[in-house]
């Protein structure tokens, strides 16, 4: 039985099993020395960076002159870049909160017992793909925010003249409900009214489209990938799918903006998305 | 040579030496185990680890380096605190003095800044590594949650520190953040349902954060206290839990 298993499979199996003394080694000196070398090396790197690239200090803070562009620290520039595509309550508050909550629930929604303690893609394709997707999105947005955004938060290539304003965009952004309104020829008069708020036909269609995105997204794996649903169970499935579809929604909205100049996909009296 | 050896022998047999060190020179397995038990810093480690956990290609030393950067930041930070007063009238000049008046002031400031960048990055990479090795899986779920809390604390530490030089970069970077706080749903004056719940610029979450309606003296003091006292204490508390959990659950590494 054991002989028929591949070497890597046996190693992985042994990692799960109890260890005999031969599998382990003394922390002193083996681990302590690695740590010492890592500390000395990283200190040297930091000292080198400190000497060649000093910390910046601009003019004294003044509420009277607003720098252009105003940039957050680099680790928040991904979120600031999202401000181009989303309102501040989403880009600056709700999406980061979802990222943090989403990260926290990962161990509780990932029920796959395999791939513990070693690098593997084949044994946990969905988890690795989903995480890598989010990670790529995070880093791409940061790179854009740091190196491709200049005056007025316009797009600048490295070879552009960064001291001149880019020409104002000729594109006018348009809400999804207006696009629908024009395409189908609906009137913009309220179709139904709830209290002081009126909702036009096109507006109701965008509500349906928005709910439909989540509705269809929740339904597809539920109907076509029964084993996936059964493995997760009702609660885990819903949390996973909500987080996954919300993450997917971010580049989707970005694509709608870049390809169709859509400003908002959903407008309610209280918030816009 | 014999004289030196004899002298060393006499020293390590004194009551003073023995009260400090409760192990011999760690060149035998017994003493190598004992040194891990009896040294408070080394006691963060177990006595033995799996061979696979030592592989650089497994851990990349990222968690340990993050902790090391934190210590480096604490040391350089204490040095900087000697020369810095969180007063909008002099904070900027205090930072300038670091570069012109204070011996090694610039070096310490630069080191503090680079270590902060390094810490943010190493936290991200450490989490990425932990995800890709599946090291958050049972029984380590809770420690991953503690790790996410430490990520948030790290980002808040960096962000609060960003304001302290009180230059244009600092003021406006924090202003960007406070605009986002104002837009918080339910608790921000410019966010969904915020005004409906009675939040204005004078009582919402951004007002609490800034200590006013705009970034000013109260904000500088708040960020200073958070940066130098509150957040490092919170980070230390959660790091203690983080490390203790690793000791309890062991490394997840392969053989």
Whether the per-residue pLDDT at A210 is higher than 90: the answer is yes
With a CB cutoff of 8 Å and minimum separation 6, the contacts of B161 are B116, B223, B227
Testing the interface with B: which of A16, A30, A51, A60 to mutate, by most B Cβ within 10 A? A60
Which positions in chain B touch A115 (Cβ < 8 Å)? 133-134, 137
**Residues of chain B where predicted confidence (pLDDT) is lower than 70:** 253-255
What ipTM was assigned to the predicted interfaces of this complex? 0.91
**Interface with B, mutate which of A25, A63, A92, A273 (most B CBs under 10 A):** A92
**What is the pLDDT, as a whole number, of residue B152?**
97
Mark yes or no for CB contact B111/A46 under 8 Å. yes
pLDDT tens per residue, range A5-17: 455 555 555 555 5
Measured between alpha carbons, how far is B108 from B117 in angstroms, rounded to an integer? Answer: 14
Model pLDDT for residues B178-201, shown as the tens digit of each residue:
888 999 999 999 899 998 899 999
Best A9, A14, A25, A27 member to test B by mutation, with max B CBs in 10 Å, is A27
- Cβ contacts of residue A243 below 8 Å, gap of 6+? A98, A102, A105
Which residue among A56, A92, A119 places its CB closest to the CB of B169? A56
**Which domains does chain B possess?**
1-48 (no CATH), 51-249 (1.20.810.10)
According to the model, what pLDDT value does residue A3 have?
44
The predicted structure's pLDDT at residue B233? 98
3-state helix, strand, coil in chain B (%, to 5): 70, 0, 30
| Residue contact B137–A135, C-beta within 8 A | no
Residue B83 DSSP SS3: coil
Q: pLDDT, tens digit, for every residue of A142-183?
A: 999 999 999 999 999 999 999 999 888 778 899 998 998 888
Question: Looking at residue A212, what is its pLDDT?
Answer: 96
What is each CA distance from B237 to A112, B222, B231, B234, B244, in whole angstroms?
31, 21, 10, 5, 11
> Which residue, A246, A242, A255, A244, is CA-closest to A176?
A255
If one compares A242 and B39, the residue with the highest pLDDT of the two is: A242
Q: Any chain B CB within 8 A of the CB of A76?
A: yes
The domain locations on chain A are 20-52, 70-168, 171-273
């Amino acid at each position: 039985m054991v002989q028929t298993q591949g070497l890597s499979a046996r190693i992985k199996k042994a990692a799960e099993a109890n260890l005999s003394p031969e599998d382990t080694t003394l922390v002193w000196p083996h681990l302590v020395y690695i740590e010492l070398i890592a500390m000395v090396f990283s200190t040297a790197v930091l000292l080198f960076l400190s000497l060649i690239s000093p910390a910046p200090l601009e003019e004294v803070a003044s509420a009277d002159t607003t720098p252009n562009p105003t940039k957050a620290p680099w680790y928040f520039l991904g979120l600031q870049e999202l401000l181009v595509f989303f309102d501040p309550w989403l880009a600056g508050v709700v999406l980061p909160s979802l990222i943090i909550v989403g990260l926290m629930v990962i161990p509780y929604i990932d029920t796959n017992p395999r791939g513990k303690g070693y690098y593997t893609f084949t044994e946990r394709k969905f988890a690795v793909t989903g995480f890598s997707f989010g990670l790529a999105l995070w880093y791409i947005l940061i790179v854009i925010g740091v190196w491709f955004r200049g005056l007025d938060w316009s797009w600048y290539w490295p070879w552009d003249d960064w001291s001149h304003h880019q020409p104002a965009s000729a594109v006018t952004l348009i809400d999804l409900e207006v696009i629908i309104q024009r395409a189908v020829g609906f009137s913009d008069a309220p179709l139904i009214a709830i209290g002081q708020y009126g909702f036009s036909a096109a507006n109701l269609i965008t509500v349906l489209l928005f709910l439909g995105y989540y509705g269809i997204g929740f339904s597809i794996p539920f109907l076509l990938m029964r084993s996936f649903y059964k493995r997760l169970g009702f609660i885990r499935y819903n949390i996973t799918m909500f987080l996954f579809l919300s993450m997917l929604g971010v580049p989707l909205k970005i694509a709608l903006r870049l390809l169709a100049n859509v400003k908002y996909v959903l407008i309610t009296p209280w918030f816009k998305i | 040579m014999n004289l030196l050896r004899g002298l060393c022998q006499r020293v390590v047999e004194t009551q003073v030496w023995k009260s400090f060190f409760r192990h011999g020179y760690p060149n035998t397995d017994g003493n190598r185990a004992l040194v891990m038990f009896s040294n408070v810093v080394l006691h963060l480690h177990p006595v033995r680890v799996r061979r696979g956990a030592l592989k650089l290609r497994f851990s990349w030393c990222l968690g340990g380096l993050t902790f090391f950067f934190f210590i480096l930041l604490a040391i350089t930070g204490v040095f900087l605190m000697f020369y810095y007063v969180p007063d909008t009238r002099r904070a900027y000049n205090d930072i300038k003095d670091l570069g012109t008046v204070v011996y090694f002031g610039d070096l310490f400031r630069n080191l503090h800044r680079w270590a902060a960048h390094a810490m943010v990055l190493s936290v991200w990479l450490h989490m990425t590594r932990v995800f890709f090795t599946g090291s958050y899986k049972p029984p380590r779920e809770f420690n991953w949650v503690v790790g996410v809390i430490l990520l948030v604390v790290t980002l808040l530490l960096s962000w609060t520190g960003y304001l302290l030089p009180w230059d244009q970069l600092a003021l406006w970077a924090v202003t960007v953040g406070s605009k986002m706080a104002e837009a918080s749903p339910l608790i921000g004056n410019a966010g969904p349902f915020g005004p409906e719940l009675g939040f204005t610029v004078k009582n919402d979450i951004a007002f609490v954060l800034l200590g006013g309606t705009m970034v000013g003296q109260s904000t500088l003091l708040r960020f200073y206290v958070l940066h130098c006292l509150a957040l490092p204490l919170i980070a230390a508390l959660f790091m203690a839990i983080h490390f203790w959990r690793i000791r309890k659950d062991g490394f997840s590494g392969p053989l």
